Amino acid sequence: MNETQQLTIVTGASTGLGAAAARELARRGFHVLAGVRRDADADAIRSADIEPVALDITEPEQVAALAARVASDPRPLHALVNNAGIQVNAPVETLPMEQWRWTFEVNLFGHISVTQALLPALLRSKGRVVNVSSIGGKVAMPTYGAYAGTKFALEAVSDSLRREVAPLGVPVIVVEPGGVRTEMATRGIATANRLAAQMTPEQEERYGDLVQANNSLMASGTESGLTAEAAARVVAKAVTTRRPRTRYTIGRDAALITRLTRLLSDRMLDRVIATNLRRHYPKGAPA
């Protein structure tokens, strides 16, 4: 494979795993089209082999412009890495419906939109689709209903797409990160606190300590997680391996949790999750 003659696309490349994956793929010789939303992010990531493109995956005009950019390039498209996403955490009862819809718009429908637009190019080049999911696509923690819902759905769409296009020469790979030291957790905690502030007093009594415990667990898991650069090397492996697996986990926590979902009953997994979460409840709070 002559990587210098091939394109890759990474969505959500402004910061974190997306930015690290764009740099790792560029280091390996690809010309990377890096989807960003702000001019400052474009300036930060631009290099000889990284070409920032304005891309909000929920905006059809920008998705169409990306497809046109690829169509105008004589180099084949080797891979589309669907990485963009947001983290929204709140109890099912309290999360406003517009937030449910927006989370699915970004974390699921946006990826489908980009994939539909780029599949003709990928089919021509026998390229591949790499969907960045999460361990949240395997197990849904409390307050993760919306986020995990999008990731479970992305896993299902990936399976369906793989079975549709593998016979046509296009592999579809899912990458499932656990804790990764990026800004996503910080933004997720801020969003969780903002949503918690909108709860009624009765909802606060029911779920306030749970939200705090989950924020603490999220911060702890991120702090002990892999660096974005280490995680990006797994994404690059999914992009470059000649015969890729259908799924790759990132981090020991992701590998462990994925294994537990296969071995434990729902009730037993509930107890494991509750025990792990109990350590993060505020002192004196019932867990």
User: Does residue 286 belong to any structural domain of this protein?
Assistant: no
Query: Does 21 have pLDDT greater than 50?
Result: yes
pLDDT at 203: 96
The residue range of the domain holding 44 is: 3-278
Please state the domain count of the chain. Answer: 1
- Cα distances from 276 to residues 17, 20, 262, in angstroms, run 26, 30, 18
Q: How far apart are CA 197 and CA 159, in angstroms?
A: 38
Residues with catalytic annotation? 147
User: Does residue 116 belong to any structural domain of this protein?
Assistant: yes
What's the average model confidence in pLDDT over 203-219?
92
Window from 119-123, 231-235, 248-252 with minimum mean pLDDT: 248-252
- The structure tokens 């790979």 sit at 173
User: Does residue 189 belong to any structural domain of this protein?
Assistant: yes
- If phi > 0 it is left, if psi is from -120 to 50 it is alpha, else beta; for residue 62 that is alpha
User: Does residue 160 belong to any structural domain of this protein?
Assistant: yes
User: Does residue 24 belong to any structural domain of this protein?
Assistant: yes
User: Does residue 190 belong to any structural domain of this protein?
Assistant: yes
User: Does residue 285 belong to any structural domain of this protein?
Assistant: no
Containing 120, the helix (H) or strand (E) segment is: helix 110-125
For residue range 89-110, list pLDDT tens digits in order.
999 999 999 999 999 999 999 9
Query: Does 204 have pLDDT greater than 70?
Result: yes
What pTM was estimated for this model as a whole?
0.92
User: Does residue 284 belong to any structural domain of this protein?
Assistant: no
What's the average model confidence in pLDDT over 41-46?
96
Query: Which CATH number does the domain housing residue 79 bear?
Result: 3.40.50.720
Query: Does 1 have pLDDT greater than 50?
Result: no
